[in-house]
Amino acid sequence: MKKILTVVGARPQFIKASALSHALATEVELNEILVHTGQHYDENMSAVFFDELGIPKPAYHLGISGGRHGEMTAEMIKQLEQVFLKESPDLVLVYGDTNSTLAAALAAAKLHIPIAHVEAGLRSFNKRMPEELNRILTDHCASLLFTPTDVASQNLLHEGFEQNQITQVGDVMLDVALLSKERAQQQVSTQLLNTLDLQHKDYFLTTIHRQENTDDVNRLKAIFEGLSLIAQSKKVVLPLHPRTKARLAQFALNQLLDDLLVIPPLSYLEMVALECHASLIITDSGGVQKEAFFHQVPCLTLRDETEWVELVEAEWNTLLKPSHAQEIYEVAMIKQGSQGKPISPYGQGQASQLIVQGIKTLFA
């Protein structure tokens, strides 16, 4: 029996882990132990995903959140090292690019424990983003690099990795999306649309949380002035991330929320339901950009660059640096209801199975 210790901490990681944890649970010779760093802690940023997606209860919850990046990451490294020493795992499994990802990778690498990185190889080529540092460093600590796309695999080859270190498996978020779409439609859609008084393809869905947008008053102001302009003619639904809520209050920009339909963060199935029925998604989230495409909804991404360049090339996603409210308004109005070219860069929804195979090969 091989012991896999999976470290999660933030909302998108719970969602990704839901697919892989189920796949790992079917393997008799693999035993997964889940560790939650505590990075996301509100009920609707954490527990709701474990309940709704049937993710096993974490064996450890470290309760580490907030503070500056160095402080948070350091505390995680310290406590994860103790867990790794106690459990002696055969493999540490990490997802994506958060501080929880990097902390687990560094703690494991120093103890010479092999690391599997799911969503390896993504790059924005902007090292001012905390996520870019986290994923580059994690990739360079990892033994198993599971990439979602051709572009991600190419990025790793350019950084000097050997082809045999890289396993392209597709995107685990597609696995989850395919498993959940019908459930969302059947169990959640009608009631949620009724409750929020929304009509099919007659509203925009938006999420904003990325540090370079929330912590820069000019960008935050441009984004929310742009959304206010849009809201004069279109319903704009905003499940509000706690970081963004805090910054809007801090910069005295709360009045820009007045015309938006502001709601607390949603469960995954609720989010899928609102994505499917929107005529445009406006976001700075990594995961939501892809989900827009999975559900064939056009996306406007308010960032300077994206890791998911294939969606921009195929015109499913439009990238816009959020500097001017009027520009955000105009581009959103043009892009609503549009469709991109038919592409399938994220595999067939089998990423979890392929990752399990990759892990078994390591132990063979």
Positions in the binding site for ligand UD1 (CB under 6 A):
10-12, 39-42, 45, 66, 97-99, 130-131, 209, 242-243, 246
Active site residues: 209
- Shortest Å distance, C-beta 43 to ligand UD1: 8
- Shortest Å distance, C-beta 259 to ligand UDP: 20
Footprint of ligand UDP on 1-20 (CB under 6 A): 11-12, 15
352 binds, among ligand UDP, ligand UD1, none (CB under 5 to 8 A by kind): none
CB-hemisphere CA count at 13 Å for 155?
24
Q: Which residue shows structure tokens 């001017």? A: 324
42 binds, among ligand UDP, ligand UD1, none (CB under 5 to 8 A by kind): ligand UD1
40 binds, among ligand UD1, ligand UDP, none (CB under 5 to 8 A by kind): ligand UD1
Nearest by Cα to 108 from 4, 1, 2? 4
- Pull the structure tokens for residue 357: 């195979």
- Shortest Å distance, C-beta 23 to ligand UDP: 18
Contacts of 92 (CB under 8 A, 6+ apart): 4, 5, 6, 7, 84, 104, 105, 107, 108, 113, 114, 115, 116
- Shortest Å distance, C-beta 2 to ligand UD1: 28
Residue 207 binds to ligand UDP (criterion: CB under 6 A):
yes
- Shortest Å distance, C-beta 130 to ligand UDP: 11
Instruction: Kindly tell me which of 16 and 209 has the beta carbon lying closer to ligand UD1.
Output: 209
Instruction: Order the strands of the 299-301 sheet from edge to edge.
Output: 261-263, 235-239, 203-207, 280-283, 299-301, 317-319
CB 238 within 8 A of CB 260: yes
317 in helix, strand or coil? strand
CB 254 within 8 A of CB 238: no
CB 21 within 8 A of CB 352: no
Quick note: the x/- pattern for ligand UDP over 258-297, rule CB under 6 A, is -------xx-x--x-------------xxxx--x------
107 binds, among ligand UD1, ligand UDP, none (CB under 5 to 8 A by kind): none
* CB-CB neighbours of 309 under 10 Å: 17
First-last CA distance in the chain: 12
Contacts of 43 (CB under 8 A, 6+ apart): none
Quick note: the x/- pattern for ligand UDP over 102-131, rule CB under 6 A, is ------------------------------
Residues lying near ligand UDP in the complex (CB under 6 A) are found at 11-12, 15, 207, 209, 239, 265-266, 268, 271, 285-288, 291
